[in-house]
Chain A
Amino acid sequence: MIFRAVEDADLIHKARGGDVESYNLLISRWEKRVYNYLLRIVGDREEALDLSQDVFLKAYQNLRKLDDAERFAPWLFRIAHNEAFSAFRKRRPETEVLGQESGGAEIAAGGPAFPIELSIAVATALEKLTDDQREAVILKVYQGFKFDEMAEILSCPVSTVKSRLYSAFGALKIQLAPVKSRGVT
């Protein structure tokens, strides 16, 4: 558990009053999570960074619309989700085929602590999921959101979230089985 002298809610309150430095501090706490979430969805570092900036800019402009500061995380990721899929839909026709082959390897290059083949295998397995399934896995496994928060981010019922996640795990179990059988557990 990370102790924070100043809670996010305080920073949000100050940022609402026009304190840009407080908002920058808030960004520093969340930028890595948002960036990695977007990176795993769009599969491109530069685009993920651009989208991250857009996300935080939109979040600032709409900060007054956030009713409950305690719900900042799902609210922020809701914006990120909208930005990612807006960009994803725009570029899908030209990268649909490429994404299956190169996207996974590109993302996997960032994990030096583990064997590169395993990271590539995981990234490739994630790429093979549908967009909805992949995002459910990312939000649950990598971002640690609860089902109700995921439902808020994805704007769908909890049952739909569970369905996407379980079907994704079913597919991942099969795709990653050869990797696991090689002794990586």
Chain B
Amino acid sequence: MSCSPFDLCDYLFGELADGERRQVERHVRSCGGCHEDLERLRITHSTLLTLRDEEVPRRIGFVSDKVFEPSLVRRAWRSFWGSSARLGFASAAMLSAALVIFTFFRPAVATPMVSNPSPDVTDIEAVVAGRVSAAVDKAVAESEARQAKNTAALLAAANARYEQQHAADLEQVKEAFSYLERRYNTSVVASNQEMKGAQ
């Protein structure tokens, strides 16, 4: 029987407070019997620890939502609506409740609105047709004016280019004529001189 102030097993397993541990350690240092008991316990403990943990042969895991029903409320909800009889009863109950509510809280009957006298459709159509026609005429006139303006501008530009080209041609003709005239005169003079020399 151990005479230690606290159980040696409690000491071995770390179940004592610091002060209690120190008391046991002091006692064991001075008591041969308790020292031997504690050593035997330690050896037994270490011998037991030679039996090591094994690895799990197959990993454990879950994937199916069917297996994992999250809550009692959800399970009850699903089981309730999963029954066709309960579903039919619930539908009938909702229909009955709707009828009762409609009976006691029927909305006021809507009175037909008094419509204002409508204006004459023919007049409206005439006004609209007139406005459309005026708008079309205005758009056509504007388009024609723009077209005439563009045409006039193009004609003016073409005339200008024609005048310039005509003047340039006349100038070239003049130069060519002058050149021919000079050559003609030169040849006439040369011919006259040859004739005078021959005489």
**Interface of A with B (CB < 8 Å)?**
17-18, 20, 23-24, 27-28, 31-33, 35-36, 39, 45, 49, 52-53, 56-57, 60-61, 64, 107-108, 110-111, 113-115, 118-119, 122-123, 126, 137, 140-142, 146-147, 162, 165-166, 169, 172-173, 176, 179-180, 184-185
Contact = CB atoms under 8 A, between A and B. Distances in A.
B66 to A, nearest CB: 12
A115 B51 CA distance: 10
Given A31-B56, A52-B60, A53-B60, 9 more contacts: A17-B70, A18-B70, A20-B68, A31-B60, A49-B57, A57-B62, A114-B50, A118-B47, A137-B48
Contacts of B44: 169, 172-173, 176, 180
A111 B52 contact: yes
B43 to A, nearest CB: 5
B48 A172 contact: yes
A98 B63 CA distance: 37
Contacts of A118: 47, 50
Given A35-B54, A141-B49, A179-B47, A169 B9 contact: yes
B182 interface: no
B52 A180 contact: no
B59 interface: yes
B48 to A, nearest CB: 5
Nearest to A119: B51
A146 to B, nearest CB: 7
Interface of B: 7, 9-10, 13, 15, 40-41, 43-63, 65, 67-71
Contacts of A17: 70
8 contacts: A24-B62, A31-B59, A49-B60, A110-B54, A114-B52, A126-B48, A169-B44, A176-B44
A151 to B, nearest CB: 12
Contacts of A122: 47-48, 50-51
Given A20-B68, A52-B60, A176 B9 contact: no
Given A27-B60, A162-B9, A142 B53 contact: yes
Nearest to B51: A122
A17 B139 CA distance: 72
Contact of B53 (A18, A36, A45, A56): A36
B70 A24 contact: no
Contact of B55 (A32, A60, A114, A146): A32
B57 A111 contact: no
A142 B49 CA distance: 7
